[in-house]
Structure 1
Amino acid sequence: MKSSAATDNSSHHVKCDKNNINDDGNNSFIELPPNSRPLEHQIAGHFYDQSKTKYGLLQHSNGDVLKPLLNPPRGPCEEQFYIDVFCQTSKSKYNSEDLINLRKFLPHYLGTYKCQKMSYIILENIIQPFKHPCITDIKIGRITYDKEANEEKIHRMSKNSVVAEIGFQLSGWKIYRSKYYEYHDKRCVRSLNKTDILHGIAYFYGAPIHLRLDVIELVINKLNELQDYMKQQHTFVLISSSLMVVYEGDDNDQELNKSTFVDVRLIDFAHVFPQTNSNQSDENFLFGLANYIDYMKQLLDKNYVYVPIDKFEHDNKTDTKIYSCYKQLLT
């Protein structure tokens, strides 16, 4: 990502060749746009050729992330929010100062990519600088449906009592374990009960092999900074947005810069709305963020003891039918 792109007010558009997308009516296969492939190390969201639409997150040959603009009005809503934050258009419905200060917490917006009937937003790939990234996605907020949701969706999204109580939801992770990557999908990590969640978070940060206290402290520092910002801004509310946390899994590589071992960004803005009360913060988001920080701080307690979680051992045939979790050996 070029730093100048964050302040460039003009989006760039790239057109692809015709017939790049197979429009056969049943979406049985979606051909990739030129110079792109499925996003490496994707944790959550739409996966290419796996979702109902078959569209998913892609990675351009230069490393940039291509996110398809699906399901209006949600896709266009997300695109407009990125434009408001990084391009400062006069039509924005949000406070410009709040948006400028938000930039450092988001992947940088780099424009749009048009390919036949599909449009993509181009985003900075925050994972790219890491040699062996460990990545997790945490959905923030005890309320995960917006004001436009119907009764069926409200009922479905309200069933998880743990989310209502703690205000965040683990959506999956990928961990580097010396000679292999280990992936756990959203169905797996969301099956954790309230007691398991603390140890599940510890598992992502290296337990039981080596709990990365250095990483945990750096993540907490970044989350505290985000928390301070969210307390002060009264411009917008985030519904069903996520935190993406990335840290370097190889802490023995002496060539790596320890100061850039961690990155934390906000992602997913399909449900962003103006704050109706100019004197009120986004309490739903802040509630979940504060609780996740509290869980992280518990891992720093010298009396903390990790308790193994059986659900992470996917060695029987039943688990392979339920989850898509795996271990990937590295050569």
Structure 2
Amino acid sequence: MNMKKVFFSSAAAVALFTVGLGVAGTANETYVSIPNEDVKNSVLSVLEAGDPEGNEIITQEEVYNFSNYHYLPKRLLETSDVFDSFSIDVNEVKPKSSSLEGIEYISAESLQINAPLIDVTPLKEMQGVKSLSLEDQFADLGYTHGIKDLNVLKGWTELKDLYYVSGNMNGIEDVKEKLPLLDISALDEIASLESICIETAGSLPTIYLSEENNDYETTLPIILSHHFDGEEWSGYSNNPSFDQNSEMTKKSDRMKWENIEPGTEYLDIWIQIQPRGHYYIADLRIPIIWE
């Protein structure tokens, strides 16, 4: 199909960005904003490859405008069946952007995202996804990343397989940046789910201790879905002060440390719950400030 060549001036680009997604563009086109270069490159690589029969999907004029102004005709994302299996793979050590803006218009049955996860709101509007993989194994970014719940997936009525991994932590600096996924209760509303695999890591709120008050007991703020009902929690801590007889070993979410050595930077916690077909693993830290 022949299209009129569309070039956005800098002023036009700013105006479109101000209006947001789904704006009316030149020649009665509706354009979508995809500002993240990594997401843009992933989308562009799919479109430039053409359809399975080798037919052109995106014109050179559209490539130019998308590459220079990050706006793409919405129809290219909605009507193309080439996005059935779509992946975003960030290879930079310190990505410049974590935005997922624009992917909500993509129609994909399999979606894989390997990127710092902060705002995953665009996922809420996606439809038809059956397999979802979210990976955030980045470290030393200088800002907090990770997601605390899966509420954006409540409307994903066709989702069958969920894989989430946020990596392990090696020291106190990793602890400060990672937000653990602690609430997966939203999965209760997805009847189609067949497999849940979650490996999360992150920091719980900082606690304050002193030489005179150096015991600590807590109930872990983990909220699981019904898929894990009745399963025994396997949990332990490598800290010498951990009470091995605490209720954590008796199907409970309580943990206790006694006589914590002054100067200890954090308490470590390892949780594993693994019913048939699913698992939830959490590598957690509780930072300590000594008064």
* Alignment TM-score > 0.5, same fold: no
Which structure is higher in strand share? Answer: 2
RCO comparison, higher one (Cα < 8 Å, 6+): 1
Which structure is higher in helix share? Answer: 1
**TM-score, length of structure 1 as denominator length:** 0.25
**TM-score, length of structure 2 as denominator length:** 0.27
